[in-house]
Structure 1
Amino acid sequence: MTREHERLQEDEGRAKNWKRWGPYLSERQWGTVREDYSEHGHSWSEFPHDHARRRAYRWGEDGLNGWCDRQGRLCFAPALWNGKDTILKERLFGLGGNEGNHGEDVKECYYYLESTPTHSYTKVLYKYPHAKFPYSEIRERNAQLGREGPELELADMGMFDNGRYFDVVQEVAKRSPEDLLWRITVTNHGPDHAPIHVLPMLWFRNIWKWGSDRETPLRKPSLELKDGCIHVSHESLGDYYFHADSPDVESDTSWLFTENETDYNSVYGFGSPAGQVKDAFHKLLIHGDRNAVAPFPAGTKAAAHFVFNVPPGKSITIRCRLHTVKNDNGLGGLDQFDETFAARVAECDEFYERVIPKDLSPEEYLICRQGYAGLLWTKQFYHYVIEDWLKGDSDGPAAPASRLDGRNHDWYHFFARDILSMPDKWEYPWFAAWDSAFHMIPFAAVDPHFAKEQLLLLLREWYMHPNGQMPAYEWNFSDVNPPVHAWAVWRVYKIADPKGSRDLLFLERCFQKLLMNFTWWVNRKDMEGRHVFGGGFLGLDNIGVFDRSHALPDGGKLHQADGTAWMASYCLLMLAMALELAEEKPAYEDIASKFFEHFVNITDAINSLGGTGLWDERDGFYYDQLIVNHDEPLPLRIRSLVGLLPMCAVTVLKQTKIEKLKGFRKRMDWFLSSRPDILKYISVRRPNEDKKSALCLLAIPSEVQLRKTLRRMLDPEEFLSNYGIRSLSKAHGKEPFVFEHGGERNEVTYTPGESDSGMFGGNSNWRGPIWFPTNFLIIEALERYHHFYGDSFKIEYPTRSGVEKTLREVAIDLCDRLISLFCPGPDGTRPCFGAADRYRDVPHWQDLLLFHEYFHAETGEGLGASHQTGWTSLVVKLVKDRREKLCETAM
């Protein structure tokens, strides 16, 4: 057992609180729903980037790749100034959703490089230009770009030319749970000396102003300079000391203090709190206002101020330490600083040598290390209490009455104050239910306890609605995400613990709450009771011809192939869990029978309702159907993931498991004998006529339908890209789908890159690009079909190639295509970086990876959110396990 595994055990058993501190600070708090107290919910304009340095946040904090405790009370992050910028660099800059040509868009270069699960060692790199940061220019030029054009980035503006930038590396090493060391290393890659101010900052989240009974402290916390270091005092967090110095300066450390309070006069044009305000350090450095900072060495925000003129190719170092007054480990100040870092780095390497297979190539190993780092760095303190938020705060103006009927008003019970896995800490600094489910698959290999707790958390009564709905995401909790939580629970249950010692209590706790969520789906999304489901946009944003979350033409209704497929999969997963639990608790055999029957009824409906269901025999594909004015269903012949997802509703039952559960077997036989018409949906295979090894296939498509679907999916002119499975058929580039009704014309065309539609803000696109989560589900499904059909089932791959392969071989090749996005090609270029040659040619950019939200289907370039490691870190699972199989193929 490695030392890091021991820390995980100590933390899980609550012997030591190793996870009390971590990189939990958001990269962006401004522009979020939580900070929006406006009448109409325009969060980007209500709290813009320009306010962020001057206005105290209500629900969280942000900083430059910073840290905080698990309740976000005390925060640490550096601030930087190159002597030219008009803004002190305290946080990452980007364009709001109303500014970027493809929605919100961070305009900085930063890379999560290392992290252990307990964050005993972390490392992050930020690239800071020598030149004046082009805040106004990048806004103006992006505003001139249309949706058809690429986004304008810092590198496009020459900000990194000739190496004129600093590499700012932050490392943290924990000596103990309450003794933390920071090392900030700044390297000048330019040809000349370059000045830089570095301010390691420590500050309290402002909870003393809002008048909330839940959080308002009895006394205001304080930071005070005593004996050359800061004395930290907080009534619930405790007392700490904070030290800072640099071996590269001879003078004593210069300390600055202010208050984390809003500059009312600057933001609103009236009044000002007594004393100093949040942007005091900005005013001092940028404007030379010495009166801005506190005259006495005390406040709620503090910084050590270091000034360097860094020679070309050289580095400077700053050292910091935060430790409890009671826990100094017998060490004074910054003693044994480098020795601690060396030990933590070695332990980090030791941990991943145990987690990552030893037979990987160097490139594959790099993908795993940085994939895990990004996954762990995107954990964030998330605080949002709907009751308090709707009412407003006593310190501010009264909230508009319309808020009580506005966004999220029907989630009055919602209470979050937790560490959550975020999609992206800048572009999506709030949880999304279906993102979180995918995140937990790679998480389960490095921190299974955290993975289980995250899945349970979203099922708790202060998250899940009393009616059984799970909250979708902050912008609209009532929107509907695909019901993949059960899939994640089942997969984490299998991954987290070895067979024979699996966590049945975790499975049962989740199962009980998932029953409520399943019932919500049946009651709300199958309102006709015909086993064909709607669901709305289902997280696929603009994949349809119109916004499926809003009213349809002429009050029509939609039978969704993807909604129905998701529910069929949900049934199979609940069946799997019930059968597993039934081996210990026979009462679960009854509920297992219910899910078996429900699955068969859904399968019958999607294939047979109205004659052919949602299957189109002419095209050999599943389509949504629109029903208007009770007329005949109109198939929406868009070949997209919507029609591929029914293929993913598949599982394989072992006959031995069925025979073991006598009650379930009896009820299953009765159901099939009373409904002989649905026997066609169940296939049984007996290898070598051995009944004990017989397998039972439950799947939406028949073998004939599966072959027809695969023929389209594996066609390079349709879904098969060099980098995985496209989200929309390439054929729609030549033949767009057009829907005309009531004088309106809507069109869906193949768009392999960024969205050219404003639907859902235009910040993501499901009309062509490669997405990891759906590709992962497709690969898992292929493995299950192969387990049932065996090597005798072969398919032409690629379509029209004349080469036949087994489904297992196809699955492995799809894994390789997805992995290739991050690997250098023959010319040394990684497809995920597109035409950005610096990642190939410049040493200080090589071996840096980004895990984007999605990828251009023709070039492989990473698009959307640049740090959406969460579900894109599924690539780590592909790299590690594609040789063995990604999933257990039978239950």
Structure 2
Amino acid sequence: MTAERDRLQDANADRAAWRKWGPYLSERQWGTVREDYSANGQAWDYITHDMARSYAYRWGEDGLGGISDEQQLLCLAVGLWNGKDPILKERLFGLSASEGNHGEDVKEVYYYLDNVPTHSYMQMLYKYPQHAFPYNWLVHENDRRNRHDPEFELLDTAIFHDNRYFDVFVEYAKAGPEDLLLQITVHNRGPEGAELHVLPQLWFRNTWAWGKDNYRPELTAHAGAIAVRHRDLADLHLYCDHAPALLFCDNDTNPNRLPNLAPPTETRFYKDGIHEYVVHGAPTVNPAQVGTKAAAHYTLSVAAGGSQTVRVRLAPAGQPTPFADFDEVFKQRRHETDAYYAHMQTELSSPDARNVQRQAFAGMLWSKQYYNYDVAEWLQGDPAFPAPPAQRQHGRNREWKHLNNGDIISMPDKWEYPWYAAWDLAFHCLPLAQLDPWFAKRQLVLLTRDWYMHPNGQLPAYEWNFSDVNPPVHAWATWRVYKMCQKHHNSPGDTEFLSTVFHRLLLNFTWWVNRKDRHGHNIFEGGFLGLDNIGLFDRSAPLPDGTYLEQADGTSWMAMYALNMMRIALELAKTNPVYQDLASKFFEHFLYIAGAMTNMDAEDVDLWDVEDEFYYDALHSPKTGRQFLKTRSLVGLIPLFAVEVLDEEVLQGMPEFMARMNWFLENRPQLASLVSRWREPGHGDTHLLSLLRGHRVKRLLARALDEGEFLSEYGIRSLSRYHQAHPCYLSYDGLDMKVKYEPGEAESDLFGGNSNWRGPIWLPINFLLIESLQRFHHYYGDDFRVEYPTGSGQYSSLLEIADALSTRLAKLFLRDEDGLRPSLGPDKRWQTDPHFRNYVLFHEYFHGDTGQGLGASHQTGWTGLIAKLLAARPSAG
């Protein structure tokens, strides 16, 4: 047991609120749906980066390397100014969706380096140029480039070429649940001394300006510290080492800059007051040293190659010597963090693998965010403002008026995606369960609560459109987290958690059956299913003239969902036999879906193409009839995910389930033939349920493991490389459409263009494929062998192939024989500079041929799955 585990136990038992403070501050609140009160739903234009420093947000806050309490009443973050920039650096800069040539894109260099579940120790690194930050250059050059050009990044400006930059290490340590130490260490990497202004900033989220509650908390100067007075917080002080100047203003919108966005206010010292004072010397800070936003102003002269440190402490009032034990607390927390990860990483022999996994975990934990959004209140508007335009009542999310969120949630990426996404979150929960099982389970329960899940049973997709349809992976994640926690605690398992989610998912499963099975044939039309531009057209858009799409992936996801629910029901039936009936129901659901996919009922809905031996979507049109959309994509591999293997021991304790299942198989012989292997115990006395028999498994894997098709040096591509020379064409509704293999950034601008499933490698789908191969192996054993790679003449078991795929994915992040990390791309600075090469980025997806990271650069969310894959590899690094 480590000290961090002790703190987690205390937090879980409500003995100490170690999770109350954490990295819950967003990295971008501007440009979000929550802050958009426009008539036309143009969120990126309503509040821009330039406006953000002067606008008091309505629903949340953002900052640089920041923390807050769990209700985000009080925030603490870092401000920086190099003496040359036009603005104080208070938040990360990036391009909006319309400015970037491949969609929204953060244009900063920063890393999450360390964190633990109670956030008792955290570290991140921000690299701040000493030259003026090239804001305009980044905007104009990316605007000049088209979709065929690469993105223009900060390093492309050569602003770091002479090492004239600061490494700003931001570290937090907790001496107690509400005793927080912040240390900012600035290293000058340049050849000459340089000056840097460092401003730890403390402020209240604005809860008073909207006409709902006019209570205004207060920050005041008190004996060289900043005193915190808030009715819902403890009596705290921000103690500042070396007596810096204390600056005060108010977290209120500046009506002089943004007259149309500011409510009436009595203050003269607005949100941008500290910025105006530091950068322009304006008289915009309150000489009375009182307000709702404050900063400690340090001016550091840092020698070439040297460093300086700023120390502040947010702690209960009345500390006579707040810095006496400061260094010792940090030393102790760092030691405890090392001990915590040493205990977790015993299976990893490679220091490089341990470093990658630890940074992946750090990103997962830093990406927790306070998410606040009441849709009904947002649509209605606030009493202090004019009523919103009438168009808003017919616009985005109008059908989700029940949704009222105010929780700490795992984000995909706190800059590019600072809002939760249902299927992303399911994947996040697996690595989170390695760290903090309590939090992982709470995340899965949260999305099924009444104030999240729609009354009709739909799970909210994401704030840009809660009604979009994501793959139904919530049951899969629930079962996986349950089993991981069972192993973690060496206990029978948390059946209360399992049954809670299961009962809520009964509603969601019914929603799918009622809403997404157009003709009752058990063939589903899920929409784009989170796979963005993988198809010839937008699969979530309605089709004209009675045309509809039968989706191989939508149908397979539902088969997988039915098996997941059946498996959960069987587990719950161990202590409550009533669940055997529900297990039987989901078994029958699965068989009906399997029958539809194999044309058992002669309804002309088979999605298996006999000629190509692959699954395709099928387009039904009154004019042209039914035709396969012959795109060799992940759509055709997803049927592999619908597989479950049950041990004989489980079935022996389920007499009602077995009786009903046997009756069903005897009276539905056509469907029974789909699971002919069921009555033939496999390796280890197991029983198999799958959409695929052995022949089809081998035929799909023949394509998946072909280096000329799906198999890359770094994992499974999302589209076959076959389509590089042979694009797929479709003439439809007067349009000529094409899909071709695009290993890097997409040429298609479907879904905003910042996401590409036309060739790159995505961690979540690879992870599911690896798990499926492991389950098939659990049944078939080592005798079932497949050529790997296809055409090599070498045959491997499915478990060996799963391990090999894990190794390929790990190669994205680990140094190769030349000391290079493929995911960091060709830039030598990333790969060889001692101040860059040990830091890892976790991208949204990866180039299908080179492995270079693309898309969002800090999407540790589901790319954080690499932390689990590293631990599961047979060589463990």
Look up the match of 2:403.
Answer: 414
Change (3 A) 1:321 1:134: same
Alignment correspondent of 1:135: 135
Deviation at 1:663, TM superposition (A): 0.4
Is the 2:523–2:605 Cα contact (8 Å) retained in structure 1? no
| Contact 1:467–1:516 (Cα < 8 Å) also in 2 | yes
Q: Say whether the 8 Å CA contact 2:27–2:63 is kept in structure 1.
A: yes
8 Å contact kept, 1:685–1:788: no
CA distance in 1, matches of 2:568, 2:724: 42
**Residue of structure 1 in register with 2:792 after alignment:** 801
Contact 1:565–1:649 at 8 Å: present in 2 too?
yes
Cα drift, residue 703 of structure 1: 1.1
1:353 paired with 2:333, answer no
Following the alignment from structure 1 to structure 2, what is the Cα–Cα distance between the partners of residues 447 and 489?
14
Q: Which residue matches 2:308?
A: 316
In the TM superposition, residue 89 of structure 1 has moved relative to its aligned partner by: 0.4
Identify the match of residue 242 of structure 1 among 221, 238, 245.
238
Gap runs ≥5 in structure 1: 247-251, 887-891
Report the secondary structure of 1:776's partner residue.
helix
- Within 2, Cα distance between the matches of 1:861 and 1:122? 28
1:710 is aligned to 701
How many pairs align?
871
Alignment of 1:549 onto 2:557:
no
Compute the displacement of 1:481 (Å): 0.4
Which residue of the partner structure matches residue 422 of structure 2?
433
Say whether the 8 Å CA contact 1:683–1:698 is kept in structure 2: no
User: Are positions 1:648 and 2:648 aligned together?
Assistant: no
Q: Deviations 1:710-767 (Å, cap 9, x if unpaired)?
A: 1011001100000000000000111111000232101101001111111000000000
Counterparts of residues 488-503 of structure 1 (less than 5 Å): 488-498=477-487, 500-503=491-494
Q: Is 1:121 paired with 2:121?
A: yes
Taking the aligned partners of 2:735 and 2:544, their CA distance within structure 1 comes to: 10
Report the CA distance between 1:659 and its aligned residue: 2.3
**Distance in 2 of aligned mates of 1:612 and 1:392:** 48
RMSD: 1.6
2: CA distance between counterparts of 1:622 and 1:884? 34
Out of 865, 883, 886, the position equivalent to 2:874 is 883
| Residue 226 (structure 1) aligned to one of 222, 226, 246 | 222
Q: Following TM superposition, by how much is the alpha carbon of 1:553 offset from its aligned partner in structure 2, in angstroms?
A: 4.5
Corresponding residue for residue 366 of structure 1: 355
Match of 1:296? 288
Q: Does structure 1 conserve the Cα–Cα contact (< 8 Å) formed by 2:598 and 2:606?
A: yes
Deviation string, structure 1 residues 93-130 (Cα, Å, up to 9, x no partner): 00011100010000000000000100000000000000
Q: Secondary structure at the match of 2:497?
A: helix
Q: Report the Cα offset of residue 632 of structure 1.
A: 3.4
**Aligned-partner Cα distance in 1 for 2:275–2:420:** 31
Residue aligning to 1:82 = 82
Give the Å deviation of 1:789: 1.1
CA contact (8 A) 1:243 1:322 kept: yes
Q: Tell me what 2:579 maps to.
A: 588
Instruction: Answer yes or no: is the 8 Å Cα contact 1:682–1:696 preserved in 2.
Output: no
Are residues 459 and 722 of structure 1, via their aligned partners in 2, closer, same or farther at CA, if it must alter by over 3 Å?
Answer: same
Q: Is residue 844–residue 856 contact of structure 2 (8 Å, CA) maintained in 1?
A: yes
Q: CA deviation at 1:7?
A: 0.6
The superposition leaves residues 391-419 of structure 1 with CA deviations (integer Å, 9 ceiling, x where unpaired) of: 01122222011111211011110010000
Contact 2:348-2:876 within 8 A present in 1 as well = no
Q: Which residue of 1 aligns with 2:25?
A: 25
CA contact (8 A) 2:199 2:296 kept: yes
Superposed displacement of residue 686, structure 1:
8.4
Q: Which amino acid aligns with 1:302?
A: A
Change (3 A) 1:637 1:358: closer
Find out whether 1:306 has 2:306 as its counterpart. Answer: no
SS of residue in 1 equivalent to 2:535: coil
1:465 is matched with which residue? 454
Map 1:200-349 to 2 at 5 A: 200-212=200-212, 216=213, 219-246=215-242, 252-268=243-259, 273=265, 274-289=267-282, 291-325=283-317, 328=319, 332-349=321-338
**Partner amino acid, structure 1, of 2:183:** R
Percent of paired sites with the same residue = 52
Q: Which amino acid aligns with 2:768?
A: L
Cα distance in 1 between the residues matched to 2:710 and 2:716: 5
Q: CA deviation at 1:690?
A: 9.6
Partner AA of 1:649 in structure 2: A
8 Å Cα contact 2:224-2:240 kept in structure 1: no
Note the residue ranges of structure 2 that are not aligned, 5 or more in a row.
none
Partners of 1:433 and 1:602 lie apart in 2 by 24
C-alpha separation in 1, matches of 2:693 and 2:738: 31
1:193 lines up with 2:182 in the alignment: no
Q: What does the per-residue CA deviation read over 1:64-84, in whole Å, with 9 as the maximum and x for residues that have no partner?
A: 010111111100111111010
- Seen in structure 2, the aligned counterparts of structure 1 residues 652 and 827 have a Cα distance that, compared at 3 Å, is same
Q: Does 2:678 correspond to 1:678? A: no
Q: Could you tell me the TM-score, scaled by structure 2's length? A: 0.97
Are residues 279 and 675 of structure 1, via their aligned partners in 2, closer, same or farther at CA, if it must alter by over 3 Å?
same
**How far did residue 552 of structure 1 move?**
1.9
Please tell me whether the aligned partners of residues 181 and 319 of structure 1 are also in contact (alpha carbons under 8 angstroms): yes
8 Å CA contact 1:853–1:866 kept in 2: the answer is yes
**2:367 is aligned with 1:378:** yes
Moved more, 298-307 or 235-244: 235-244
> Is the counterpart of residue 166 in structure 1 residue 171 in structure 2?
no
Q: How far does the alpha carbon of each residue in 1:361-409 deviate from its partner, in whole angstroms, 9 at most, with x for none?
A: 0111011110100000000000000111000112222201111121101
1:889 paired residue number: none
Q: Is 1:519 aligned to 2:510, yes or no? A: yes
Q: Distance in 1 between matches of 2:713 and 2:862?
A: 20
d(CA) in 1 for partners of 2:647 and 2:818?
A: 48
Q: What is the alpha-carbon distance in structure 2 between the residues aligned to residue 850 and residue 46 of structure 1?
A: 30
Give 1:484's aligned residue. Answer: 473
TM-score normalised over the length of structure 1: 0.96
* Cα separation, partners in 2 of 1:156 and 1:885, compared to 1, 3 Å: closer
User: What SS does the aligned partner of 1:344 have?
Assistant: helix
Q: Could you tell me which of 373, 381, 386 is aligned with 1:397?
A: 386
- Residues 238 and 312, structure 2, Cα contact 8 Å, conserved in 1: yes
SS in 1 for 2:545: helix
Asked whether the equivalents of residues 348 and 871 of structure 2 are also in contact (C-alpha less than 8 Å), the reply is no
